[in-house]
Structure 1
Amino acid sequence: MKKLFTLSVLLLTLTAAFAGPPKNQYVRIHTTYGDCILRLYNETPLHRDNFIKLTKKGFYNGTLFHRVIQNFMIQGGDPDSKDPIKAKPGAELGNGDVGYTIPAEFRDSIFHKRGVLAAARDDNPKKESSGCQFYIVEGKRFTDGKLDTLENTRLKGRKIPVSQREWYKSVGGSPHLDQNYTAFGEVVSGIDMVDRIAAVKKDGNDRPAADVPMTVELLSKKECKQLDKILFPKANP
């Protein structure tokens, strides 16, 4: 009887664990240049929830990556980019929005490493984010000397933490954006998609010569749990 009770408790525990929500939400961006999967940060809940809301509505489907700069980033999410008149060939994009902004959510532990998902914004004093436009960092590698120069100029004396500095040196990123634009997720699979899009031919406004439309979807609860288990094995015994 005791063994049966113990087994029943174990089964109930496992069932409860399996039935619970995943720890992270993941999204897939599909383009003709491939797919990438991104994890949305729980540390930036306002941006995370807004991106989830828009994705559920299908807002991003058909929008373009309208601004690409190699070794820097690819930007998309402008609703004007799926308007055939506003997005006619050669037109400058990037001014469309959803009528609201999101308060900045800067976190010392989050930085603009290669593959980071972040919110675009206009030049506003509170550094509030666009309600819809985003970018994914391709970035480049930096030397200690270049990082030192960056700290003394564009970062206005702010020191880059040692761990982040090592990342910028070995993997790359765009450190001058730290604490200026809110990063709220990162690519966990398919960074090659970003590299391919960043390398396309473009016009004087950095708009790809050939349109790069996207489809964005939320991964299922089961898929999110599977990724959690792979990416955070210690937290998912």
Structure 2
Amino acid sequence: MRRYLSIFLSVLFLFCASCEDTQKSKKNVINSGPKITEKVKNDTSNNKKTTKPVKISKTLTQEELIPFLTEFGNENQERKIRIKTSFGDIDVLLYTDTPLHRANFIYLTKEGYFNGTFFHRVAQGFVIQGGNSDNPETSKKRNKNGSYLIPSEFEAGHKHKRGAFSAAKYSEQNVSKASSPYEFFIVQSERGAHHLDNDHTVYGEVIKGMDVVDTIAKQPVGEGEWPLINIQLKIEILE
């Protein structure tokens, strides 16, 4: 109960101040980052197979988050997803022993939240980070879906090896290290990023497409490690 009370108080602070960390992203720190300032320059809308978006039917609050995600996870047990980009596809296996993170990701995918967001941070030799954009529609989706944090699931014991699929988090007033529901990152480093273990929740791994991750990691970036060309993504559920 103390854990969830701490998370709830953290959410209240974040809601009153800002739903996003407005500081610039720094290498070796995975924060839920600032909105992107560049306009869309390339489009992947010609992908034929996509997860059909459904209307967001619920604004989640922290108090009801765990019961909701638990029930949703029991009724929606998919765990393989595909991230589609103009550079190719990245297939990810979500872990069943991080049930809240898996359920949240499947929930947002079925709502179509991720479609139209970007890989908005590229740090070659470290990670690529996605799930945000400067599109007004992304902000609208977040506002409709709610401002909440996912409790960390470190007890599963997954590490930040190469190909790890992990959750970004807000850095301020977040002593419980709860996760942002909207942003994720993939470890690109050959050595892994083990300084992030037990600081961010790893809830999946890339099972196909690390060559695509490496290609994205090589893209030129500007301030804050933002790609000079926006890398749009769409996500579909495989099984």
TM-score range with shorter-chain normalisation? Answer: 0.5 to 0.7
Indicate whether 1:186 and 2:239 are aligned.
no
Which amino acid in the other structure matches residue 83 of structure 1? P
Distance 1:58 1:176, change over 3 A: same
- Whether the aligned pair in 1 keeps the contact of 2:160 and 2:194 (CA below 8 Å) is yes
Instruction: Classify the secondary structure of the residue corresponding to 2:93.
Output: strand
Q: What is the alpha-carbon distance in structure 2 between the residues aligned to residue 29 and residue 85 of structure 1?
A: 17
Query: Would the alpha carbon gap of residues 213 and 98 (structure 1) be closer, same or farther in structure 2, given more than 3 Å must change?
Result: farther
Change (3 A) 1:85 1:29: closer
Q: Which residue of 2 aligns with 1:10?
A: none
What secondary structure does 2:106 align onto? helix
**What residue is the counterpart of 1:195 in the other structure?**
214
Partner residue, 1:44 = 98
Shift of 1:204: 1.4
Given candidates 178, 185, 188, the residue that maps to 1:128 is: 178
Q: 2:165 touches 2:187 (CA, 8 Å); kept in 1? A: yes
**CA distance change for structure 1 residues 32 and 98 in 2, over 3 Å: closer, same or farther?**
farther
| Aligned residue in 2 for 1:102 | 150
Give the distance between the partners of 2:138 and 2:151, measured in 1 at CA.
31
Contact 1:119/1:181 (8 A) holds in 2? yes
**Contact 1:63–1:213 (Cα < 8 Å) also in 2:** yes
Q: Report if aligned partners of 1:66, 1:81 keep a CA contact under 8 Å in 2.
A: no
Q: Which runs of 5+ in 2 are unaligned?
A: 1-74, 140-144
Name which of structure 1's ranges 102-111 and 211-220 shifts more when overlaid on structure 2.
102-111
CA RMSD of aligned residues (A): 2.3
Q: Would you say the 8 A contact 1:24–1:39 is kept in 2?
A: no
Residues in 2 aligned to 1:50 and 1:84: alpha-carbon distance in whole angstroms: 19
CA distance in 1, matches of 2:234, 2:84: 5
Deviations 1:171-225 (A, max 9, x none): x2101000000000000011111111111000011000000000001114xxxxx
Q: Which residue of 1 aligns with 2:111?
A: 57
Secondary structure at the aligned position of 1:205 is classed as helix
8 Å CA contact 2:78–2:106 kept in 1: the answer is no
Check the 8 A contact 1:102/1:128 in 2, yes or no: yes
Match of 1:81 in 2: 134
Displacement of 1:109 in angstroms is: 3.3
Assess if the C-alpha contact under 8 Å between 2:120 and 2:227 holds in 1: yes
1:84 deviates by 8.3
Aligned pairs, how many? 158
TM-score (norm 2): 0.62
User: Runs of at least 4 residues of structure 1 off by over 4 A?
Assistant: 21-24
Counterpart residue type for residue 118 of structure 1: S
Give the partner amino acid of 1:48: R
Indicate the SS of the match to 1:77.
strand
Larger Rg: 1
User: Which residue of 143, 147, 163 corresponds with 1:115?
Assistant: 163
- 1:209 aligns with 228
Q: Give 1:25 shift.
A: 1.3
